[in-house]
Amino acid sequence: MPRANARSNRTSTNSMPPPPARRGASGGFGSALNMAGRQNQGYSHEGFRWHLLQMVISTGITIDSVVGPHFRALMSFSPYPIEFPEKEELENDLEVMYDLARKRLKNMLSNENVAMHVGLGARAARQLPTLLEVNLHWCPAGTSTLKRALLDFVGVPLQHPSERLAPKLIKVMKDWNIEEKWLATIGDNTTTEGEGVTDFLPELLPSNRGQSARVRDIADILNLAAQAFLRPFELSTDHDSRKVRTKLVNKRTGEVSKKRKREMKDDESLKEEVEVKKMKEGSPTMQDDSFSIKADEDSSSYDATIKTEQGKLEQVKKEEVEMDMGAPSSSSSSSVPVLGDEWEEVPLTYDEELEVVFREEGLIDETLENPFRIIARYISLEDELKLTDDDCGARVDLGEKALQDLIEEVETINEQTIRELGKLSSDQKQPGTFMLLKIKGLAADLQRRLDKDEDDDYIAQCCSSKNKADGVTTLLEAVRTKWITHLHAIARYVELKRAVIRLTTGANYATLGLEKFVLKPAEWSLAEELIPVYHAFKDCFVSLAKGDAPLVHQTIPIIRTLRERLAAIVNNDAASQIIRHGASNVIKVLEKFYPETGGSDMYTIAMILHPRFKLEWFRAKGCDQEWIDQAVGTVRGIWEKYYLPNVVAPESDSHAMDIEAYEQPSPRVDPLTQYLSEPTFKTSDPLAYWKTQEEARLVEPQLIKMAKDYLSAPATIVNVNHVFSLAKEYHPEHDDFPDAYKRKMTLLDSWLELGLVTEQESTERWKRERRERGPEYYAAIAERVSRQAQIDELLARRGWY
């Protein structure tokens, strides 16, 4: 079970995570001196003012912080005579920049006659509602470069989130006057809940393509696939779940009658179920303030309450899972006791639950009567896996409901694999489970030691000269909800095998007490056998990281390759059974969320309009002709509905009087038909190819537009270079919905990336203002600043700050 860790002492009052520093802006006060005077350029008040604003925007710190005494004291070390702007000036500057950037972005988008794609990025709070970033992606006409802008944030409602989120998204698009240009929707939610959003969009906005333009976030899919692969190595208790194991206990005798796994509820849930049961039977209700229904309550509300609670009870009965707990008691052998005065339902203790899970999942044999020794080993290792900052941050980003959905999705897939390949024996399950626990536990243990004393870098001391030359001298901590990082951590562990063995078994380090992390030969063998799986996943991210951003046309070949490599493992009888189980889980995830066509028209159309693939790729992969004909029909349907009507017929030469003018004109070949009939063209950048065709004017402009519209859709909304590495920062400021100031700063940070407001125009405006206000105005400011500096110095001497 996850346990809290007091390792973090970082706190923040900001609600928005600070965006990454860019455009030369400082990420903190440490490099502020560089902003005051750039080398060979000297100091200017306007330049300092610009960089001060960039620091506020990019880091999320408040204006009070940058005009306060601490920052002023820091800047006193500058060789330049720093002149601080007034707080009111900076506040006005931010408002002007925000309004100007928004106006220019809106004009830019209105002038673009291209399709635009909406990416939904999660910024989840610890408690719902989840906050979603609404990002816009597009490829401007005449270019092959993608652009991105953050449009706004929307909160996901608690009740009926998909249905109520759709109008919020449409409102954002209408606010920017681009709702008719909306094509693809890229969502980071891989569950059924996420699909509902695109289902509702066409009902409210007829021009929206809905599910046919849904793009699944490939980074999320690969993370889910990694989670599914690791599930056979873990236990159901390794994850917080909505399911809880309970038992019925006789209050008088202490007899245990029934143990089961059911939907987790709050403390009053059992009382509610008993109340509903008595309502259905017509019995008097329990007199309890926590579940009493007042006599003067509206009758419709009363009926609705009964129906809701009855539905809960029926759902509980439906989801209830009976567990084989050994010989049943006399009470359970005849009938199931009814909750009431004698019987109560209570959760199992952690040790009881572990024993049940160990037997259920094959970690111990059913014949083993005393499993407490192995349970104690497990608990001892699990205690090392305290929640870290990265765990908390990743979990917050994912969102509690999304996390539970993923867990249940993987559980369903894993149960299907067990039915197909058989249940793992204890000899197959134990090495995998303890190998993973030891690898994660040792990394966590060493990191905690390093946090306390930077000189305690024991694993680096044990590394070989080659490891040091390669810069590989540390183990990696896996982040709980970023399952890709677990594979990365295992691979690093194997890479540092000699150093790990030297550290955990060497006499020089015996006092560290690391013997519980020593891997047995079977566990080392299993870790090394996992490396090809690690490389299969890594190669996916390497392929996606090529270019500016991964696009939809890249995903189908990448996913197919991953599926083929994992299928080879499943079909290898010599492979470890637990690895075959994991590989089978991955294939099921890919087949469900990324079928051959990607699950929507976006993938098929992008592949066919890619000059390197067209129809030849599908033929080479063995797709039957019927499927290919359907794919061509899909492309043609989109072409004829949205693009062909805009084709402009070429002007005829009315002055041609030669004999050719009297000849019957040859029928014009359909541009799409002509494109499909031509040979493929080898290129890795389809957008650049279509830009070349656009410049050469050799192809129908509407076909070029269609190709760029579909080929410009992103495959993910996250930085794939960061997905495969470990999270390094946790921002507690995710916890709240952003206030107006923090929202504006985050939006403005995104817009300035597009160059919508420049340093040159801002500094020129400030210089004009300076000339118009005259020297008297700034002399008064200088006097106030000097007086404040004297006060700050006096307070500092007295130790007030």
Q: Find which of 275-279, 346-350, 617-621, 741-745 is predicted with most confidence, using mean pLDDT.
A: 617-621
Phi–psi pair at 250, nearest 5 degrees: -75, 120
Separation between Cα atoms, residue 303 and residue 309, nearest integer Å: 10
Residue type, 659: I
Q: Check pLDDT > 80 for residue 675.
A: yes
Of 182-196, 269-283, 358-372, 671-685, the one with minimum mean pLDDT is: 269-283
- Residue 389 — very low, low, confident or very high, per pLDDT cuts 50/70/90? low
The residue ranking higher by pLDDT, 399 or 401, is 401
Separation between Cα atoms, residue 411 and residue 579, nearest integer Å: 16
Q: How far is CA 642 from the centre of its chain?
A: 33
Between the alpha carbon of residue 225 and those of residues 26, 240, 262, 602, the distances in Å are 38, 19, 26, 22
Separation between Cα atoms, residue 61 and residue 69, nearest integer Å: 15
Provide mean pLDDT across the span 484-501. Answer: 95
Separation between Cα atoms, residue 319 and residue 687, nearest integer Å: 50
Question: What single-letter DSSP state applies at residue 138?
Answer: E
Q: Which of 576, 449, 435, 430 lies closest to 497 in space, CA to CA?
A: 435
Render the burial of 375-388: b for 16+ CB within 10 Å, e for the rest: beebeebbebbebb
CB distance 225 to 589 below 8 Å: yes
**Exposed (0-12), middle (13-18) or buried (19+): which is 731, by Cβ within 10 Å?**
buried
Please write the tens of the pLDDT for every residue from 254-311. 677 655 555 444 444 444 444 444 444 444 443 333 333 333 333 344 344 444 444 4
- Residue 788 — very low, low, confident or very high, per pLDDT cuts 50/70/90? low
Q: Which of 470, 499, 469, 474 lies closest to 488 in space, CA to CA?
A: 474
Q: List the structure tokens of 255.
A: 């007899």
Of 115-124, 268-277, 388-397, 631-640, the one with minimum mean pLDDT is: 268-277
- Residue 238 — very low, low, confident or very high, per pLDDT cuts 50/70/90? low
The pLDDT score that the predictor gives to residue 287 is 39
Separation between Cα atoms, residue 225 and residue 230, nearest integer Å: 9
What the chain holds in terms of domains, given with CATH numbers, is 13-85+736-801 (no CATH), 115-216 (3.30.420), 240-360 (no CATH), 389-593 (no CATH), 601-646+669-711 (no CATH)
Average pLDDT of the chain?
77
Q: End-to-end alpha-carbon separation of the chain, Å? A: 43
Q: In 647-715, which residue ranges form alpha helices assigned H by DSSP?
A: 671-677, 686-696, 701-711
Please write the tens of the pLDDT for every residue from 506-537. 999 999 999 999 999 999 999 999 999 999 99
Q: Which of 43, 37, 32, 22 lies closest to 70 in space, CA to CA?
A: 32
Residues 6+ apart with CB under 8 A from 191: 402, 405, 406, 409
The pLDDT score that the predictor gives to residue 717 is 83
Please write the tens of the pLDDT for every residue from 201-231. 999 999 999 889 989 888 888 989 999 999 9
